[in-house]
Amino acid sequence: HSRGMAKDQIEDPTGAMEDYSKAMKAQPDYYVFYFRGTTKGKSEDFAGALEDLNTAIELNDSDPEAFSYRGVAKLELKDYPGALQDFNKAIQLKPDFANAYFNRGVCKGKIKDDYGAIEDFTKVIEINSNDAEAYFNRGGAKFNLWDFEAACPDFKRSLELGKEDARRYYPRYCR
C-alpha cells in the first residue's frame, strides 16, 4: 500500500486506487481499506469511501481518523445522524481532535443546530486559535441566529487570518 500512498501524495488518485486495489488482493488489511477509502473521499466517491471505511473500522475500531473520514463521507451523503455518531466517536477516541470538532460543527449547521455548531467551532478555536475556517464558520452560525454583533468579530478575525470569503459579510453587516 506504500505505492498507493505515494501516488495519493502526488495527487494521482487513479494510480493510488489501482495500487490499493492490488494490495487489497495480496493482503487485505486495515491500512489498505483506510487509505483507499480516504482516496475515494478525496475523489468525491463518498459511497465508495463509506464502503472501504466501514471495512477499515471493522478491522480496527480504535482509530479516530477513520471515524472522522467516515463521518465526512456520511456528511456528504447527507446521513447527518450517522455523521454525528462518527464525529462523536472520533472525539471520544481523541478529545483534542480539532478536525472532528470542525466537521461535527459543519454537520450541526446542516441540521440547523447553530448553537451546537458554535460550541464545536469554539472548541476548534481553543485547540488552534489561528483557524480561519473555524472563526468564519462560527461567525456564520452566529449570523444564522441573527446575532450580527457576535458574528462580526469572528468574521473580522477570519479575514485577518486570510479567509477571503469573510469579505462578503464583514463590510456589509459589521461596522
Per-residue pLDDT tens for 24-75? 555 667 788 888 888 888 889 999 999 999 999 999 999 999 999 999 999 9
Closest CA to 173 of 163, 154, 160: 154
What is the structure's pLDDT at 4?
41
Contact 17, 37 (CB under 8 A): no
Residue that is written with C-alpha cell 478555536 in the block: 125
Average pLDDT, the chain: 88
List all residues 6 or more positions away from 34 whose beta carbon is below 8 Å from its beta carbon: 52, 53, 56, 60, 63, 65, 66, 69
**From CA 58, how far away is CA 56, in angstroms rounded?**
5
